[in-house]
Amino acid sequence: MEQFQKKVLSEVERFDALSRVSVALMSEKNESRLLHLIAQTATDLTGAAYAAFTLRPVNEQGVALVPSEGNLFYLAAVIGVSKEQEEFFRKIHLGGEGLLAPIFRYGVPVRVGDAMKMASAHTDRPTYSHEEAREAALRFAHGNMPVDELRQVGVPSMHPVICSFLGVPLLDSNNEVRGGLLLGHPEPDRFSADDERLLQGLAAQAAVALENARLYQAMQMRAREMDALFQSIADGVILLDQQGNIIRENERARDLRQQLLQLPDGKRIMEQMLYQPAATVLSRQVKEQTTVTMIDGFHEQHDYVINAAPLSLSELYKNSAPLGDANHGAKQDAHSEAVVVWHDATEAQRLLRERQVHADTEARRSLLQMILDELPTSVYLVRGKDARLVMSNYASRTVFGAEWKPGQSMLEFLGEHQIRIFMNDGRILPNEQLATLRAVQKGETVYQHQEVIRHADGTTLPVLVNAIALPPNKFRVPSLVASGVQEPELSAIVVHQDVTALKEAEYLKDEFIGIAAHELRTPLAVLHGCAQTLIVQTARGNGSTLADWQMESIQDIDQATRRLVELTEDLLDVSRLHAGHLELQIEAIDMVALARRVIKRTQLTTEQHQLKATYGAEYLVVNADSRRLEQVLTNVLNNAIKYSPAGGAIEITLAKSPDQQHCLLAVKDLGIGIPVQQQARIFGRFMRADNVRGISGTGLGLYLCRELVERHNGRIWFESIENVGTTFYISLPLVDDIHMA
């Protein structure tokens, strides 16, 4: 009776211990601590001296990575060995041979009363092959062999001495061997059948606990992965509950929401972007998509596409732990009922706007190209100092006799097609004097510039060129090729007018003018000479005394014939220029001395005007025809006097140009100026402004000035404002000091 009571008490203690272990196992999620707890419980309940837990490696899904046979089990937990022994056993793979073979291979328990006795009983066969061990394990697993027939294959040198052995398999839900729970004792017959059943119960509980721990770890890992994905979403994602409260948001949404709330109208924007879409979704259970445009603190526009949708979560998901923790904004007791996604469409909208602008620009460009192609005159647009073509019309191909490709520089185009450009007199025009290059390199606006284009086949085409420079700060001309130039580039619109018919008419007119001037020259000289003789002889007292009215008439005749002589000389110069017969007597002359001489002589002709000269150098030497330059300067000074009827100062400045390579003469008056609409043709023959009709003149002076200056490789231009005044500039190349020496 006493033994029965002890047995009952022992069973009660075991049951109580198993109950406590079951509760502990269900709450423990750490695999290492879980296995150690099971091993310790097994030793406490069975009185074992040693306990070991071995496992097969599995993947994240719990699928075994290796078969159950071979040296592939690893030590997961151990009780009753030294630290050195534990470290040793953890470094090696445990085999599934001998006494362990039925456990690891076939999932049956093994209980041995005295393993040492079993080993000594077979001393007649010292070797025991692995094949024999597998066969014995199979027979034992099928009940065809007693446990006494099982034999050890061998143990490591550091293995503790074991007589009593009890091992049970750890089976998973698919009844596959997951591992083994092994007990040992140095004394024989320490484990009973009750211990075996107890150990099997612990192993079954351990298998369930391990599966739960693995599932929990897998769930935690998936939760971390999902949280990482959630936080890495480029769009802002916000989860809300049924009341519209935020229960979770990713970093993008949180940052954007905080930025919005700092804006003056942040609450209104938040209402549009979050609460209104969420309310619609929660009340109607339908998807909602809106677009919101906002201006941030830097006055930059941002466009957001707001997508809101209801969330239908399963009860399993609702009852599971939320992704992340409270630090990420999740409320543990709330469930998501709606999701709002903020997609930043700023860049996409910007690209769409750019595409639309590009399409509109291309449409306007096509329309402009169509209009330009219908024009009878050549028109093209160039950009940069090398005059790269941006666009041109069809007539430009006729003018040049070749197609100018967009992006190609002007000089490259001319060289490729062997096109040469000449002056009116047949001399080749230097590149720097081309109207197009002057516009894009120096920002000049060139009007009525005469050029002769000679094609590769030898045919020539006289043209009148107008080049209008376009300042980069006012006109943005797109470049068709990557030039690598960062600073703004000048552009120019250039118009070529074919003046072949005009040249033919001019030729006939020039021929008539030349003949008329030549025929008028002799009789005018006679009239002028007779008038001079009468005036001089009368002044000396020779001949009859003339009445006052007679002397006045003779003086009028003298002045009229003088003007006619000057006009005749101008007409003859024009004829010589067009015929190419104007000869220049080139020599080195001092422009300072020439200017002083002409200014002094011109000052004698007027008392209302004061000619004030400023010289920037003691002497400025140029190669020129002295008489022709005097003619040019006299003409410019006479114009300044003539078109300043109110009198006043006329400022003359003579100095070196900024590049120190040219002599620069400037004549500034405060006269009536030249109207803007007529400035382009003021250097033409017989051209006069409309505001000088009451002032005498032929319209040949400035034409001759330009022709003479250009034949000296110089330039003449002006700046004028009507009713304010005009400044004429003349630039001539200086002679180097080396050549002077």
What pLDDT was estimated at residue 276? 86
In degrees, rounded to 5, the angle at the alpha carbon of residue 65 between the alpha carbons of residues 64 and 69 is 80
Cβ pair 507, 477 in contact under 8 A: no
Cβ pair 64, 48 in contact under 8 A: no
Tell whether the model's pLDDT for residue 327 goes beyond 50.
no
Burial of 38 (0-12, 13-18, 19+ CB in 10 A): buried
Token pair, residue 729, equals 């500039």
Taking only the tens place, the pLDDT of each residue in 404-428 is 999 999 999 999 999 999 987 778 8
Question: How much of the chain exceeds pLDDT 70, in percent?
Answer: 78
Taking only the tens place, the pLDDT of each residue in 76-94 is 888 988 888 888 877 776 6
Closest by CA to 624, choosing from 740, 728, 714, 716, is 714
What pLDDT was estimated at residue 214? 79
Instruction: Identify the three-state secondary structure at position 172.
Output: coil
Mean of pLDDT over the chain: 80
Cα 447 versus chain centre, distance: 40
Considering only 54-63, 528-537, 666-675, 715-724, which range has the smallest mean pLDDT? 54-63
Most confident region among 19-33, 345-359, 622-636 by mean pLDDT: 622-636
Between the alpha carbon of residue 633 and those of residues 65, 486, 589, 620, the distances in Å are: 106, 43, 14, 15
Between the alpha carbon of residue 75 and those of residues 51, 78, 79, 204, the distances in Å are: 11, 7, 11, 18
What pLDDT was estimated at residue 314? 45
Query: What is the end-to-end Cα distance of the chain in Å, rounded?
Result: 148
Cα 79 versus chain centre, distance: 67
Tell whether the model's pLDDT for residue 318 goes beyond 50.
no
What pLDDT was estimated at residue 467? 93
Taking only the tens place, the pLDDT of each residue in 549-584 is 877 887 778 777 777 777 777 777 777 777 667 788
What pLDDT was estimated at residue 316? 36
Backbone angles phi, psi at 539, to 5 degrees: -65, -30
In degrees, rounded to 5, the angle at the alpha carbon of residue 430 between the alpha carbons of residues 483 and 591 is 120
What pLDDT was estimated at residue 8? 54
The residues, ordered by sequence, that sit 6+ positions from 630 with a Cβ below 8 Å of its Cβ are: 594, 597, 598
Cβ pair 643, 571 in contact under 8 A: no
Indicate the pairing of strand 648-656 with strand 609-615. parallel
> At 586, is the pLDDT very low, low, confident or very high (cuts 50, 70, 90)?
very high
CA–CA separation, 432 and 421 (whole Å): 12
Burial of 613 (0-12, 13-18, 19+ CB in 10 A): middle
Most confident region among 240-249, 309-318, 532-541, 591-600 by mean pLDDT: 591-600
Beta bridge partners of 655: 664
Tell whether the model's pLDDT for residue 503 goes beyond 50.
yes
> At 31, is the pLDDT very low, low, confident or very high (cuts 50, 70, 90)?
confident
Tell whether the model's pLDDT for residue 329 goes beyond 50.
no
What b/e readout covers 76-109, taking b as 16+ CB neighbours within 10 angstroms?
bbbbbbeeebbebbeeeebbbbbbbbbbbbbbbb
Taking only the tens place, the pLDDT of each residue in 439-478 is 999 888 888 888 999 999 989 999 999 999 988 876 665 5
The residues, ordered by sequence, that sit 6+ positions from 84 with a Cβ below 8 Å of its Cβ are: 158
Question: Running DSSP on this structure, what letter comes out for residue 14?
Answer: H
> At 63, is the pLDDT very low, low, confident or very high (cuts 50, 70, 90)?
low
What pLDDT was estimated at residue 738? 46
